[in-house]
Structure 1
Amino acid sequence: MTNLKSLILGSAAGLIAIGGAQAADLPVKAKAVEYVKVCSLYGAGFYYIPGTDTCIKIGGAIRIDTAFNGGTYDNPFWQGQAGAAGAWTGDYISTRQRINLTTDTRTATEYGVVRTYANIQFDFLQGRESIAGGYTEVDYAFIQFAGFTFGKAVSQFDPQWALSKPYISSGFNAGSNNATGIPQIAYTASFGNGFSATISLENASPYRNAGLYNNAVALAAPFGASGNTGSYGTSSNTFAGNSYGGNHIPDVVANLRLDQAWGTLHAAAAMHTITPGFYTGTINHPDDSYGFAVTGAVEFKNLPTGAGDSLKLEATYGKGAAKYVFGGTTDTLGGGRYAHAEGNTMGFGYVLDGVFGPGGQVQQSEAWQVSAFYEHYWNPAWRTSVFGNYSHISYGDTGNALLFASLNAGRTSNGGFLAPGTTGNFDLGLTQIGTRTAWTPVRNLTLSAQFTYSRLEQNLNGAWVGAIPGKVTPAGGFALGNQNHYNGSVQILRSF
């Protein structure tokens, strides 16, 4: 019995020892996996960055565009391209493929929400890229904190709905343009009930500098790129005769806004500084000239015509600040040159902040525009918009005299000249009317088609003697007259 008892106790002690040894060999318990959590504070699509209290939303889009009888951005052929003259060598179609990536972060702090936002585009453009080329652009990149906005964002001059105009692309003249944002420092004060006010300092170069013509230099011809060394968007609208002296003072912009369930109201003003370059052959220059622009806009939502329907109206006036009025992506050759030829006729004009002559001061231009956009939803999947714009610019008696002198028969280095006896002025008017129909068969996939009619109205009576791509100059030159243009585009857009 004694031996049996000793055996049982010994076996139990051995089992306990073995169990203890096995327990010592077990791995330490793994740390719980920290899964990404949904952040519901700022709307759908936000998640907490693991280990932080910052929420992030990653999105983007792929869009495929094809333009017919127009440029890449669905621009009418205004800029002196071969297509503007109906030349055999002109492109009848133009294509673009774009990948868009966005990041949006939000962090709640004692000073309010700290936000960062970036929008990066990867584009492939017909006529610009090699077979496997492409380019990258940063359209928006800003930080918002305690009411301040720092970086590249929608100009405070423009209404809240600047990026939601119901058309395909940015080639339509419809006031100030925000295709890639404006570098700025802005402060917004909110007063409750949807009412707010903002003041900002914005970088005028290159979006807001329309060009300043020095009459001592031959002005770039309407057709061709005489003296052009840089496109709008890569430099401050460089073209033959441009004499902007630099970007010395930022534009000062202020606005008042009202956001309500029924829609929005927006009023804004801007001061634009024109810093001239030197008189030719001297170190003297005209005085700085201060232009300005004002705008008013209203949006009506959910109209009686149907749920989701909207009407947007906008009017703008600028003196010495032409790009606050003529803001579409049409300055492909610089100098705001608008030109079109049909048969043996042609029409042209310039969009400039002003002109000056030897020893003189800047003669500012005056420009204005009105725009309207209406969109109707037939049902949740189908919608149609109609839109129109009229933009106008003039230079006054002194400015007209300087422009006439620059394009007379003795200044042929610019690629052409006005025939002797030509009269009138350099007032330019552009009328555009368009319509777009969009179909969204599934969420975030939209197919759309657009048609645009444009009319260039010029006020010169006479003829232009000079080379036009793909055309033989008639005896006595091309008769000057108003021009009509038709173009269209289709797009497929997948956003995510």
Structure 2
Amino acid sequence: MTTIKGLILGSAAGLLAIGGAQAADLPMKAKAVEYVKICSLYGAGFYYIPGTDTCIKLGGAIRIDTALNGNIYDAPQWQGGAPGSQAWSRDFFQTRARFNVNIDTRTATEYGVLRTYGDAKFDWTRGVSGIAGGAPVEVDYAFIQFAGFTFGKSVSMFDPQWALAKPTISSGLNAGSNNATGVPMLAYTASFGNGMSATISLEDAQPYRTAGVVNTSLAFSTASLLTGGAYGPGNFTGNQSGGDHMPDIVGNLRLDQAWGSAFVSAAGHEVHGAYYNGTVDTGRPATTWGYAVSGGFELKNLPTGAGDSFKMEATYAKGAAKYVWGGTLDTSGAGRYFRASGPSAGTLAFGYVLDGVYTGTNAGNGTGIDLSTAWDVSAFYEHYWNPAWRTSVFGNYSQISYGAAGNQALITALSFGGTAAGTGFITPTGGDMKLSTAQVGTRTAWTPVKDLTIAAEFVYSRLNTNLSGTYTNAGGVSGAPAGAVYGLGGQNIYNGGVQISRSF
């Protein structure tokens, strides 16, 4: 009995020893897997970055555009060159493929939400992007928001809340201020509750806000005025604004409600010229300030149908022309509009979008800057036929003028026998340098499935010059012989576009 008991106890001890040895060989208990968690604080699509309290959302889009009888993004062909001349060598259509990606992060802090946002685009545009050079890359938005402040590249605080939600394809619709790719800024927004807020902002005037100034005593270059490529001091030799000296000062007051939104905004814009003789400091016009004011509203869910909306805005500017003459086709430097009825003698309209005009002499004296006056009014209506189909109609009227002194200076410089000897190309018989555009258009969009939209658009534009007389071709009309004579008169322009967009 004692022997049996000893065997049992010995076996038990052996089993315990073996079990202990096996336990020692087992790995430590693994940590729990940390799965990505949905963040519901800021809307759909946000997730917590693992191991942090920061929420992130990844998004983007692919957009395919084809413009017919228009420039990129269905813009009218009215800015010179072969398209503006309607030359046989012009592009009868234009295509662009765009891919963009954006990242939005948000973190709750004791000062409120800390947000960062970035959006980059990769484009392939026929005639611009090359096989060897590849597609251009641009950063549209890159900003940080914290405790009411916005630092970086964002939509201007001058623009309405719906600046990026206009129901159009065309980026050539002159619908007031436009900065679809953002402007660098330092802004502070105060929220008062019930949807009311106010913002003060310092914003970089380049490239969207500086229209440029001209010294009419210096020779104009016909080729750069009428046929130059991208705008800017290097392509428009008449522009004497040079670099920016001060940021624009912008403020707004906004109201956001379930029924829609409303806003008023204002901006101060510094305007300066270069030396009177163009190169040597023998005197210069005094620096001055221009300004712009704007207001508008949006009405949602109209009685005409669920989802229907109506938007309207109006802007007035003195010496700050680009707050009225927006669009995304131009950069800094004095802008020019030019459209001929064809490369054979006929009619043409032309004009400039400038902050101001002055005249100087080599002796170092001259005039101050005569500021331009510009204004516009725009409206957009969109109707949903059903959840998948919607149609919008829209229109705009924009105008710019230069006053008695500015008109006379420009006309003299551009005329045969004017102060810029040998560079004249017009023989005026009346009127002034006032320029205006009127546009109406319609777009129909189909969304067969969520986040996929196929849209088609048609736009009619009228380019009006208020100057009567004739233009003698000095290279401005592509395909026309030198010396061909055109009558000055308004031009009708028709263009359309098709866009396919998939967002995610």
Q: Relative to 1, partners in 2 of residues 1:215 and 1:52: Cα closer, same or farther, differing over 3 Å?
A: same
**Aligned counterparts, 1:78-477, within 5 A:** 78-131=78-131, 133-221=134-222, 231-232=230-231, 239-280=236-277, 281-283=279-281, 284-331=283-330, 335-343=334-342, 344-358=346-360, 359-410=366-417, 417-466=424-473, 467-473=475-481, 477=485
Q: Relative to 1, partners in 2 of residues 1:304 and 1:416: Cα closer, same or farther, differing over 3 Å?
A: farther
* Whole-angstrom distance in 2 between the partners of 1:204 and 1:345: 35
Give deviations 1:426-473, integer Å, cap 9, x for gaps. Answer: 100100101000000000000000000000011111111122444334
Q: Relative to 1, partners in 2 of residues 1:20 and 1:412: Cα closer, same or farther, differing over 3 Å?
A: farther
Give deviations 1:207-252, integer Å, cap 9, x for gaps. Answer: 10001111132234377767x5x834xx678521111142111111
Corresponding position: 1:6 with 2:13? no
* Residue pair 1:175, 1:326 contacting (<8 A) in 2 also: yes
Secondary structure, aligned partner of 1:367: strand
| CA apart distance, 1:11 | 1.7
Secondary structure, aligned partner of 1:90: coil
| CA apart distance, 1:74 | 1.4
* Residue pair 1:225, 1:333 contacting (<8 A) in 2 also: no
* Residue pair 1:206, 1:237 contacting (<8 A) in 2 also: no
RMSD of equivalent CA atoms: 2.0
Secondary structure, aligned partner of 1:76: coil
* Whole-angstrom distance in 2 between the partners of 1:340 and 1:442: 41
Deviates more, 1:301-310 or 1:340-349: 340-349
2:363 match: none
* Whole-angstrom distance in 2 between the partners of 1:67 and 1:298: 30
Secondary structure, aligned partner of 2:384: strand
| CA apart distance, 1:131 | 2.1
Give deviations 1:267-316, integer Å, cap 9, x for gaps. Answer: 01111101221111431211111100000101000000000000001000
Secondary structure, aligned partner of 1:18: helix
Corresponding position: 1:483 with 2:491? yes
* Whole-angstrom distance in 2 between the partners of 1:193 and 1:321: 33
Give the aligned length: 492
Unpaired stretches in structure 1, ≥5 consecutive residues: none
Q: Relative to 1, partners in 2 of residues 1:324 and 1:333: Cα closer, same or farther, differing over 3 Å?
A: closer
Secondary structure, aligned partner of 2:397: strand
Identical-residue share of aligned pairs (%):
62
**Aligned counterparts, 1:34-73, within 5 A:** 34-73=34-73
Give deviations 1:326-367, integer Å, cap 9, x for gaps. Answer: 001232795211111114111101000011100111010000
* Whole-angstrom distance in 2 between the partners of 1:476 and 1:115: 59
Give deviations 1:90-138, integer Å, cap 9, x for gaps. Answer: 0011001101111111111110111111111111111111126101111
2:501 match: 493
Deviates more, 1:13-22 or 1:475-484: 475-484
| CA apart distance, 1:205 | 1.4
Q: Scaled by the length of structure 1, what TM-score is found?
A: 0.95
* Whole-angstrom distance in 2 between the partners of 1:249 and 1:78: 31
* Whole-angstrom distance in 1 between the partners of 2:224 and 2:337: 9
* Whole-angstrom distance in 1 between the partners of 2:421 and 2:108: 58
| CA apart distance, 1:194 | 0.9
* Whole-angstrom distance in 2 between the partners of 1:414 and 1:181: 41
Deviates more, 1:337-346 or 1:428-437: 337-346
Q: Scaled by the length of structure 2, what TM-score is found?
A: 0.94
| CA apart distance, 1:413 | 8.7
* Whole-angstrom distance in 2 between the partners of 1:333 and 1:88: 29
One-letter amino acid matched to 2:106: R
One-letter amino acid matched to 2:410: L
* Residue pair 2:340, 2:477 contacting (<8 A) in 1 also: no
* Residue pair 2:412, 2:419 contacting (<8 A) in 1 also: no
Q: Relative to 1, partners in 2 of residues 1:50 and 1:287: Cα closer, same or farther, differing over 3 Å?
A: same
Secondary structure, aligned partner of 2:385: strand
One-letter amino acid matched to 1:175: G
* Whole-angstrom distance in 2 between the partners of 1:166 and 1:414: 48
Deviates more, 1:428-437 or 1:208-217: 208-217
* Residue pair 1:302, 1:310 contacting (<8 A) in 2 also: yes
One-letter amino acid matched to 1:420: T
1:22 match: 22
* Residue pair 1:75, 1:329 contacting (<8 A) in 2 also: no
Unpaired stretches in structure 2, ≥5 consecutive residues: 361-365
